[in-house]
Amino acid sequence: MFFLASKGYRCIAHDRRGHGRSSQPWNGNEMDTYADDLLVLFETLNLKDVTMVGHSTGGGEVIRFCARHGTSRVKKAVLISAVPPVMVKKDSNPLGLPIEVFDSFRENMLKDRSQFFFDVPSGPFFGFNRPGAKVSQGLIQSWWLQGMMCGFKNAYDCVKAFSETDFTEDMKGLDIPVLLLHGDDDQVVPIDAAAKAGVKLLKKGTLKIYPGGPHALPNICEDEVNKDLLEFLES
């Protein structure tokens, strides 16, 4: 955001309900309500000609928003390491991750939430568990802080929202240009069931694969992501 704002773009980040500085309601921690919350933001700020950018779960929000509320205010979209079309493994999604993976997330969160929010960034999220990785303790602690700022119920419910929501039909109906950025070493949202499958559903989708890229592309490959975002905005 700092990079793009420095180039003259207006950049707006929202804190999803239960996250960041937003309130922590018990209910509504699912994609439809996330999208409805975004609509209120769009209407309140009267946003138009927007390029929406969503990372991971945020990519699901982008897709669900456009499917649920249309693209009259949205001209382009970017999905970075995003969860669509669907993460969990099932008959229609054999490349997905078993439900047991997400059950373990919830189990570990309930058992020791603070440790869970250290374990994820210390390992797969940033790719710090790979040989030769340059580990940033600052990024790990920042991720822990963001996790601990979430409402407990909100974070717990979000696991179901990002893993089980099926965006297949949403993606098929999208009529705007969509850029997908995804690392081929994403250990959180594996590329085959995500971007490689998703780009085939989009009418105007373009996929760029980051060789060796982890899930946290905006943190680990920031210069390349900035370059790709700027080029897409200016195209």
Active site residues: 56, 186, 215
Q: Which residue has the tokens 């070493």?
A: 185
CA neighbor of 120 nearest in space, from 214, 21, 222: 214
Residue type, 218: P
Q: Which residues pair with 51 in a beta bridge?
A: 76
Q: Which helix (H) or strand (E) holds 209?
A: strand 205-210
Residue identified by tokens 């929000």 is: 61
Based on the number of CB atoms within 10 Å of its own CB, is 43 exposed (0-12), middle (13-18) or buried (19 or more)? Answer: exposed
CA 49 to mean position of chain CA atoms: 21
